[in-house]
Amino acid sequence: MKFSFDSVAHLYKHVYYNMPQSLKTFLGTLYGSIPIEKRYGTLYSHYLEVYKQFEEGDKQFQEDYLYNKTLETILFAEQNIQFYQQSFAKHGVSASDFKSLDDLQKFPTMAKEDIKKHIEEMYTQSREKAVAYFSGGSSSSPTKFYHPIYTSRAKHKAYSVFTLEKGGYNLRDRSILLKGREVVDVEKDVYWDYEPVDNFLNVTSSYVSSEKFPFIYKQALKFKPKFLFGYLSVILNFVSSSKAYNLDPLAIKGIILTSETVHAQDIEILKAFFGDISIFIDYGHTERVVGAYKLDFGDYHFMNAYGIPRVVNQEIIGTSLDNFVMPFINYKTSDEVDGDISYFDNSDIAKSVHNIKGRSQDYLVADDYRLISTSTLYVGHNLSTEVVSNIQYQQSEPGKVKVLVEKNRCDIDKNEILAGLNKLVKKGISFDVEIVDFIATSNRGKKIVCKQNLDIESIKHKIVKSDLALN
């Protein structure tokens, strides 16, 4: 496996982030000026060409590519990974049973719970060195897994560059980053830092809704960004704060949204404020199994050369490609879809879906064990983002839900919110609404919509078994 500068530099990013801004600007600018093909090595160029050829290829080319790459993954897992050797044997399948794309459904599924239990039997360093990653989502206990040190970052960077160009973004376009690291020096009224490698102004998300916003806005205006890049919840707060202080919209070209569920109403709010801009929505996860994107109000387009997305009972089940350290086969993402779905012929492998709703764990459980998606409660509070910054649902008992509502400088009538929720959920759940000044986010500043302490997958399974019994 060929050496790449990025794979080494990434291991020492914490040292770089802790440098004084002047030194970081010097080193980051120098590193960022190196052509990306040099930084990420030949694998970057390889995958960029793979995506291009696949997207431009005809139906037969695409189906042949997917079959061959999936078979490659299954064979590797069967020959090298103890977990899959045991799982395949238990379910009576082997790589020889994979004769068409539709045969992927014959193979067992796996989930985060399996990774937590069997991580030591799920990876190998026989082909490439493994690097540990952690995926937390809204969980209090992050899940550890492994990626190949060279292949994974080069492949994913090529994916990002290829897809983001669809939204008009070019590498190193000046952008304000509203996600990730928190960078604060309160004594100096500094709530940002400059990231020269990607040409980002990294803004501390937790202060966008605070009285410090005018300082942030002034710096953002001075930076003259082309794009806002980050979590929907933080960018909506940026809009609300701009309105609250009677500040003009930034003259941007587009917005790039990642990690959080996006509704049509959100896109309408952003376009109403910023004008005729492009809105690019990225779907992916730290496991890097499957990826998709959508533009404005269109459908999500899966990048099938990146990973294989099956849609089963409205859930995305992914199989990774090119991960020869810890392959994922039929991985239950817990992300659900709705609306029209386009499939490859004679398979449940999706080309596109109208909408990706997010984690299936973001359900509330009624007292009769009905499951109610928090997405359906999106407009239940009947209040705009000028009033409400954030809402979080917490549940530990069927039929009872605590609702935290973070106010945005305005007084809130919690009875109004309660009435809106009860209108949508007419029976089965007793809501307890509490108005708070701040709702904690994840370590990377991501909004946690639902803290669900009930076992949703177990409840789903019971419902399915009950339905089968009735039939």
Q: Is 237 part of any domain?
A: no
443 φ, ψ to 5°?
-60, -25
Distance CA 301, CA 105 (A): 22
Q: Is 222 part of any domain?
A: no
Distance CA 259, CA 9 (A): 25
Cα–Cα–Cα angle for 142, 144, 145, rounded to 5 degrees: 145
Count of domains for the chain: 2
Angle, helices 59-80 vs 82-91, to 10°: value is 100
Distance CA 170, CA 80 (A): 39
Residue 352 sits in the same domain as residue 430? no
Alpha-carbon separation of residue 332 from 168, 290, 320 (angstroms): 32, 11, 12
Q: Is 108 part of any domain?
A: yes
| pTM across the whole model | 0.82
Q: Is 20 part of any domain?
A: yes
Residue 397 sits in the same domain as residue 379? yes
Q: List, for residues 294-349, the tens digit of each pLDDT value.
A: 999 999 999 999 999 999 999 999 999 999 999 999 999 989 898 999 999 999 99
Domain of 392: which CATH number? 3.30.300
Q: Are 309 and 86 in contact (CB under 8 A)?
A: no
How many CB atoms within 10 Å of residue 471? Answer: 5
Residue 89 sits in the same domain as residue 105? yes
Residue 130 belongs to domain spanning: 1-173+253-359
Residue 374 sits in the same domain as residue 460? yes
Q: List, for residues 28-78, the tens digit of each pLDDT value.
A: 889 889 999 999 999 999 999 999 999 999 999 999 999 999 999 999 999
242 φ, ψ to 5°?
-60, -45
Which of 359, 386, 409 is the C-terminal boundary of a domain? Answer: 359
Residue 152 sits in the same domain as residue 12? yes
Residue 5 sits in the same domain as residue 33? yes
Q: Is 232 part of any domain?
A: no
The structure tokens listed for 369 are 């064990």
Residue 317 sits in the same domain as residue 462? no
Domain of 313: which CATH number? 3.40.50.12780
By the 10 Å C-beta count (0-12 exposed, 13-18 middle, 19+ buried), 99 is classed as exposed
**CA torsion, ordered 225, 229, 234, 235, to nearest 10 deg:** 60
Predicted confidence at residue 444, as pLDDT, reads 61
Distance CA 414, CA 24 (A): 46
Residue 69 sits in the same domain as residue 104? yes
Residue 354 sits in the same domain as residue 381? no
Q: Is 292 part of any domain?
A: yes
As averages over each run of 10 residues, the pLDDT of the chain (471 residues) reads 73 82 89 91 96 98 98 98 98 97 97 93 96 67 87 96 96 92 78 92 85 93 96 87 94 94 90 96 95 97 98 96 98 92 96 84 80 64 56 92 80 81 82 87 73 80 47 44
Q: Is 193 part of any domain?
A: no
Alpha-carbon separation of residue 49 from 43, 66, 158 (angstroms): 10, 16, 9
Alpha-carbon separation of residue 44 from 28, 52, 69, 246, 411 (angstroms): 20, 13, 18, 44, 51
Q: Are 93 and 47 in contact (CB under 8 A)?
A: no
Residue 31 sits in the same domain as residue 154? yes
Distance CA 444, CA 348 (A): 34
Q: Are 282 and 257 in contact (CB under 8 A)?
A: yes
Residue 126 sits in the same domain as residue 154? yes
Q: Which residue has the tokens 């990013």?
A: 13
Which of 359, 376, 411 is the C-terminal boundary of a domain? Answer: 359
Residue 283 sits in the same domain as residue 415? no
Predicted confidence at residue 24, as pLDDT, reads 87
Classified as helix, coil or strand, 450 is strand
Q: Is 389 part of any domain?
A: yes
Distance CA 185, CA 193 (A): 10
Predicted confidence at residue 359, as pLDDT, reads 65
Q: Which residue has the tokens 């959508």?
A: 294
Alpha-carbon separation of residue 443 from 102, 234, 353 (angstroms): 39, 14, 30
Which of 328, 359, 390 is the C-terminal boundary of a domain? Answer: 359
Give the CA radius of gyration of the chain: 23
Distance CA 352, CA 354 (A): 7
